[in-house]
Structure 1
Amino acid sequence: MKLHHTLLASALFVAVPQASAGDWQVSVGGFYSTSNTTMDVTSPLTDKSIELDFERDLELSERELLPYLNLSYAFNDKHTVYFDWKSLRRNATKEKVTKPFETDLGGDQKYQVQAGAKINSTLNIDIARIGYGYTFYEDNNWDLTATLGAHVMWLEIGFSGEIGACVDNNCSGPVTVAPNTSIYKDATAPLPDIGLVAEYKINEQWSLIGHGQYFYLKVDEISGSLIDFNGGAKYQFNDNFTASLSYSYYEVDVDVDGKLSDLNVNFNFHGPMFTLQYEF
């Protein structure tokens, strides 16, 4: 099964801030996402793989305002640790499904959703990032920081409603539809990352900021890749308070090979985001 999630959103993972020794920094913000999500399922009409579009076929909302939080601590001018989090949670009801499909999302049982069925859909994604930054170069204009950390993704996918359970995973014969059937899959995927953060000071108030992160991992039943980069501008109101506007691109591809069912997830965010940052 393959889930492809495309979001038009501002997914700024705030660049590791440059701070003096013993400084805490808190950043809060939001991004307005436009989403396109697809998942590979099987057509009961052709018995071939097809794409199920969560927005077009299941009526999940395309646009959402999503929260963002970042917390960092600078031990000194060189060493910083950071944590951030963002979340996308959506539910929708399709009164009459127009594209029938079959899936083994629930585990060792295969299910069928027939044309005309009423289906409730859930897609929840939470992403947390924790890591360490080392500033290896700085002058009057430039600060360059190398990062090492991990993204952890929590994914929940579910369907409920008029769903039929296939007999012995064979959906070619008669399938008895139950009105309140639920199928559900969740997964947790840790993805290490390495990256580079850059800040260029234009003057006392304005700076250009950006970062890029990438990693590929294959361990036991989990494999995946991560791409995360952004660029934007930061305005310094005073010594403690700044605002940032950035354009970001974030993509994760995760494969989880379970004993009962497989899960392949691919999604990306891209777009603008606004954050406010306070240092104390």
Structure 2
Amino acid sequence: MFKPWVKSVAPIVFGLITMTLSPITAATEEGFKLAVGGFYSTSDSGMEVTNPSNGEEFTLDFETDLQLVENEFLPFLEMSYWFNENHGLYFDWKRLHRNANNTKITVPYEFEDVDTGETYQVKAGADLTTIFNVDIARIGYGYDFYSDDNFDLIATIGLHVMWMKLSFEGEFGACLDDECRVVEVDPDNVVLTEVTAPLPDIGLLASYKFAPNWRVSGHIQYFYIKVDEVKGQLVDFSGGVSYEMTDSFSVDLSYKYYDIDVEVQRDYSSLDIYYGFKGPMLTLAYHF
């Protein structure tokens, strides 16, 4: 079953979104922009599993049930190049790698390996180590279709690529022919296969220079796609204000929200994982 990303009821309702930052916030002149910074994120991630006692599906929360850290610092990198005042390319990258050991699993569950179809069962009280690594890269094209001395409207089209690695290590029961037994799992074994999910996106940026050296902007991206065995949806927006310290250097303070849901359907099984983060970020940019 394809689930929305947010744990409660995730409304895909976009109101008036202002105050966002991007490597292509304003197409003022030809040249490169390189931005590096830090992002303090609050993560929300999980997957659909089954309760072995009653057969009902439920969402396993990685932060609450598996004790993955919820708040963590994320580094990120942004680059852009404008050929002229109207046309530009951009690239950005974010990374979040987490692992945790839970010695007292409180909720029993079972899941299937999407490559082999084998069912694994984790009982209450088990000792389990979870590894969940996510890398997100974005590349795209921006077109400034309206511009004056203070205001810019930029349409974007691009591609998000997500590299996701989810593995469990510890006390497992392998279920064959309705019988489950404890098995040894190789510490390097990826029980749930590594997934690469490309998601194209479209977006709109609005940027306004409200004072000398000060600019506020608005940006939103969304896409839903189903290609072959991968189905997913993406919500991405952020907000902030920037200050130009010199002609070459600027500093940005903003708020970021990112939400993605990926369902992988294979011959043997299916896998539904959601991942999202939100929080403030600070960026230092150099124009050249």
Query: Fold conserved (TM > 0.5)?
Result: yes
- CA displacement, residues 56-76 of structure 1 (integer Å, 9 cap, x when unaligned): 221111111011100111111
Residue 230 (structure 1) aligns with: 238
Q: Does 1:266 align with 2:274?
A: yes
Aligned partners of 2:286, 2:258: CA distance in 1, in Å? 25
CA shift for structure 1 position 220? 1.9
Q: Does 1:103 align with 2:111?
A: yes
Residue 35 (structure 2) aligns with: 27
SS in 1 for 2:67: coil
- CA displacement, residues 89-110 of structure 1 (integer Å, 9 cap, x when unaligned): 1101111222111110353100
Residue 203 (structure 2) aligns with: 195
CA shift for structure 1 position 15? 4.5
Q: TM-score, normalised by structure 1?
A: 0.90
Aligned with residue 255 of structure 1, among 227, 238, 263? 263
Residue 57 (structure 2) aligns with: 49
Identical-pair percentage = 48
Aligned partners of 2:209, 2:29: CA distance in 1, in Å? 20
Range moving further from structure 2, 126-135 or 246-255: 246-255
- CA displacement, residues 188-244 of structure 1 (integer Å, 9 cap, x when unaligned): 111111111111001221110121111221222222222212221110001110011
**Runs of 5+ in structure 1 lacking a partner?**
none
CA shift for structure 1 position 3? 7.9
Aligned partners of 2:136, 2:28: CA distance in 1, in Å? 28
CA shift for structure 1 position 13? 6.5
Aligned partners of 1:86, 1:194: CA distance in 2, in Å? 19
Aligned partners of 2:221, 2:139: CA distance in 1, in Å? 13
Q: Does 1:118 align with 2:127?
A: yes
| RMSD across aligned positions (CA) | 2.1
Q: Is the 8 A contact 1:128 1:153 kept in 2?
A: yes
Q: Is the 8 A contact 2:253 2:281 kept in 1?
A: yes
Aligned partners of 2:239, 2:28: CA distance in 1, in Å? 23
Aligned partners of 1:199, 1:165: CA distance in 2, in Å? 55
Q: Does 1:150 align with 2:159?
A: yes
Change (3 A) 1:136 1:200: same
Q: Is the 8 A contact 1:13 1:84 kept in 2?
A: no
Residue 138 (structure 2) aligns with: 129
Q: Is the 8 A contact 2:50 2:111 kept in 1?
A: yes
Aligned partners of 2:35, 2:217: CA distance in 1, in Å? 15
Change (3 A) 1:265 1:3: farther
Aligned partners of 1:5, 1:29: CA distance in 2, in Å? 26
Matched residue type, 2:83: F
Aligned partners of 2:276, 2:75: CA distance in 1, in Å? 16
Matched residue type, 2:41: S
Q: TM-score, normalised by structure 2?
A: 0.88
Aligned partners of 1:41, 1:2: CA distance in 2, in Å? 13
Residue 13 (structure 2) aligns with: none
Matched residue type, 2:282: F
SS in 1 for 2:171: strand
Change (3 A) 1:85 1:6: farther
Change (3 A) 1:94 1:55: same
- CA displacement, residues 96-146 of structure 1 (integer Å, 9 cap, x when unaligned): 222111110353100111122111101111111000001111112101111
Change (3 A) 1:57 1:40: same
Q: Is the 8 A contact 1:2 1:263 kept in 2?
A: no
Aligned partners of 1:4, 1:178: CA distance in 2, in Å? 33
Q: Is the 8 A contact 1:72 1:80 kept in 2?
A: yes
Residue 39 (structure 1) aligns with: 47
Matched residue type, 2:103: E
CA shift for structure 1 position 249? 2.0
Residue 102 (structure 2) aligns with: 94
Residue 140 (structure 1) aligns with: 149
Residue 66 (structure 1) aligns with: 74
Q: Does 1:220 align with 2:228?
A: yes
